[in-house]
Structure 1
Amino acid sequence: MGRSSSPSISCAFPPGPDTPAHIALAEELGYRNAWLYDSPVLYDDVWATLALAAQRTERIGLGTGIAVGALRHVTVTASAVAMIERLAPGRMTLGLGAGGTGMMMLGQRPLKWKFVAAYADTVRKLLRGEAVTWEGASIKLDHPTIGVPLPARDVPILMGVEGPRGEQTAQEHADGVISGWHTPQTAFDWACRLMFGTVLDDGESPISERAILAAGPGAAPIYHLLYTQNNRAALEALPGGAEWAAEIDTVPEEERIRAIWSGHLVQLTKTDLRHIPPEFIAQSTYTGTKDEVRAKVDAVASEHGFTEIIYQPSGPDIPRELRAFADAVM
């Protein structure tokens, strides 16, 4: 996994029961890496899914995109990285970040970047077999005592960043970045852009039912995040935003966070379907014909220095989305 003269094409998934099979298909299609999200309230376990994917594949890179440190002790994450690297030698990458839905679904704020930096540094040292101090205790991975060596290489660490503080942390403590909306101002050797949308069939409308179901989960989080951030003015400036917010306001407060984020990046909620216009979904995602999607990918990579494009398929037919995107851009 790393930089090439043209952007690598990779994929991302919210972990579910079919994800290992989807990653195996992505390998057949030529995707470079497969990145899995870490949000235990919403998805299957990221590490168990990576282990299953490792056993079904031979070449595709495997990574967390991104893991949330507060959900696991540093030794748990380091041990998991070591195991996936053993199952898939040379293919594991640890993505870390401050946490979005992984923290919000627990009623907590994203992590401080100081914590993320310390967590990344500590995991790296543990994987090298070093003794470290964490939360006042001296700890060290002793996997070799059961006859299992720690990774022979430094497993790369990327950081999920959506702003300047995260970018600064990544400069000092990581090997690269993953972002969905933020454009790094720093020239990273490994810079990944996460993309959502769908490649249209010949003659298909960008607001067809199929296209909306496939691309919609990538557009709806704009509404979800603005509401969660209490940025009402920006939300109501979006098409259908005032109506969307008004319906969410009627949900009891203790259930509201689930009503907002249910189906995150997987499917549209009933509220989303009622109020987010199909035209907005088409315009705010990487949706278009093969030529249009290819042009958008090339533009993002060349204009902003991204070395890897990560496509997250969604909707009812993930294999179709993987095949169509690969056919368009590879």
Structure 2
Amino acid sequence: MEVSCAFPTALDTPANIAMAEQLGFHRAWVYDTPQQSPDVWMTLALAAERTDRIGLGPGVLVPSLRHPMVNASATATLCALAPGRVAVAFGTGFSGRRAMGYGAVRWSFMDAYLRAYRGLLRGEVVEWEGARMRMLHPEGHAPSRPFDVPVLVGALGPKGGEVARELGDGLFATLRIPDYAGEFSWSAYLLWGTVLDDDEPVDSAHARSAGGPGWALSFHGAYEFGGAEAVRALPGGDEWLGVVGKAGDGERHLSVHDGHCVELNEADDAAWQAGGHSTLRDVTLSGTTGEVRRGLDDLAARGVTEVVFQPCGPDVRTELERFLDVARAEPPISEPITSKESP
């Protein structure tokens, strides 16, 4: 399994990607979340200038945020800056859309978008919104067409799986691993968590800052996909809903996604303090060195070929180093892989 990393796009992300390259990570993925982040393509371009080896890519692009020509041109630019190192992932939009009050894009739209985007990179004339177009970039403005960029599709259900099989070069999953992950030669899985000391409680200050933002996704996801009743089933769910419920219906999503993947917001903190921290090991890859190692082995057994770890908290370097040390270690022979569900 390749060991990669991801970062919520921030002003210090190019420096963090350069550090990840120094440490030996395979690839760095950067989020397309304009409601809370600098531009993903600008950030990747700066990272390309600071690195020589590490793979680079947006993970995941949300099609509705940009015209396919804009993403094709940006992809071409990054390929020129980092030749042979670029991969692109697309998804229907979680925080990239829901934090602005929209639902996910339809898979029929994703299908049409990917066909147009890939056709543009091949130098073809494509049709979009009733108009015919192709990349007209002269020499020196973009790589010559056609050029190939691996495209991963963020899918969990059957419709997404079909699009990934037909139009993608691999799978980019998070929150859970679809049953068909093993069908793909490239199956990336984005996860959160932290390596805990052997006697460290799950409600320690370190566990909260380094594991908490990923843990909070269990509430954000439960609310978006299952509603209030799904949240109430979680420890601390009532306290979480009590904070989110203060906002009006038209702005509740602002409370839900505030601090997404970066820090605990007011609702997340209320749930954590009310005992929600007890699920940290269940919803993230958090635990002792042995527990995290067994979790990684389980991911590999379920078809994951690239694990993508997002560090959180104030000490990004230490989180990256500790995760990489565990990922590179040989699993203990005396500790078999468990059947516990991965985050």
- Structure 2 partner of 1:10: 4
Determine the C-alpha separation between the residues in 2 that align with 1:147 and 1:208.
51
Match of 1:224 among 220, 223, 226: 220
8 Å CA contact 2:241, 2:267 repeated in 1: no
Once the two structures are superposed, residues 221-258 of structure 1 have per-residue CA deviations (whole angstroms, 9 ceiling, x without a partner) of 22122223452222111101122112211223343211
Once the two structures are superposed, residues 118-168 of structure 1 have per-residue CA deviations (whole angstroms, 9 ceiling, x without a partner) of 111211111111111111111111112555433664101101112221111
Local SS of the residue matching 2:179 = coil
Match of 1:175 among 160, 164, 169: 169
Match of 1:128 among 122, 125, 129: 122
Matched ranges for 1:164-203 at <5 A? 164-186=158-180, 187-201=183-197, 203=199
8 Å CA contact 1:198, 1:211 repeated in 2: yes
Match of 2:266 among 270, 278, 290: 270
User: In 2 relative to 1, CA 291–152 (structure 1 residues): closer, same or farther, beyond 3 Å?
Assistant: farther
Once the two structures are superposed, residues 186-239 of structure 1 have per-residue CA deviations (whole angstroms, 9 ceiling, x without a partner) of 311110111110012454333311111111111112212222345222211110
- Structure 2 partner of 1:257: 253
Amino acid at match of 2:193: G
8 Å CA contact 2:56, 2:86 repeated in 1: yes
Does 1:242 pair with 2:238?
yes
User: In 2 relative to 1, CA 246–203 (structure 1 residues): closer, same or farther, beyond 3 Å?
Assistant: closer
Determine the C-alpha separation between the residues in 2 that align with 1:267 and 1:123.
34
Local SS of the residue matching 1:144 = coil
Match of 1:59 among 41, 45, 53: 53
Give RMSD over aligned pairs. Answer: 1.6
Local SS of the residue matching 2:189 = strand
8 Å CA contact 1:215, 1:282 repeated in 2: no
Match of 1:306 among 286, 304, 307: 304
Local SS of the residue matching 1:193 = strand
Amino acid at match of 1:287: S
Does 1:87 pair with 2:85?
no
8 Å CA contact 1:82, 1:151 repeated in 2: no
Determine the C-alpha separation between the residues in 2 that align with 1:210 and 1:178.
28
- Structure 1 partner of 2:319: 321
Local SS of the residue matching 2:14 = helix
Segments of 4+ moved more than 4 angstroms: none
Q: What is the aligned length? A: 323
Amino acid at match of 1:299: D
Deviates more, 1:194-203 or 1:235-244: 194-203
Percent identical among aligned pairs is 43
Deviation of 1:287 after TM superposition, in Å, equals 0.8
Determine the C-alpha separation between the residues in 1 that align with 2:222 and 2:238.
12
Determine the C-alpha separation between the residues in 2 that align with 1:308 and 1:52.
24
Determine the C-alpha separation between the residues in 2 that align with 1:242 and 1:202.
31
Deviation of 1:106 after TM superposition, in Å, equals 2.5
8 Å CA contact 2:191, 2:308 repeated in 1: yes
Does 1:37 pair with 2:36?
no
Determine the C-alpha separation between the residues in 1 that align with 2:220 and 2:198.
32
- Structure 2 partner of 1:4: none
8 Å CA contact 1:161, 1:182 repeated in 2: no
User: In 2 relative to 1, CA 148–178 (structure 1 residues): closer, same or farther, beyond 3 Å?
Assistant: closer
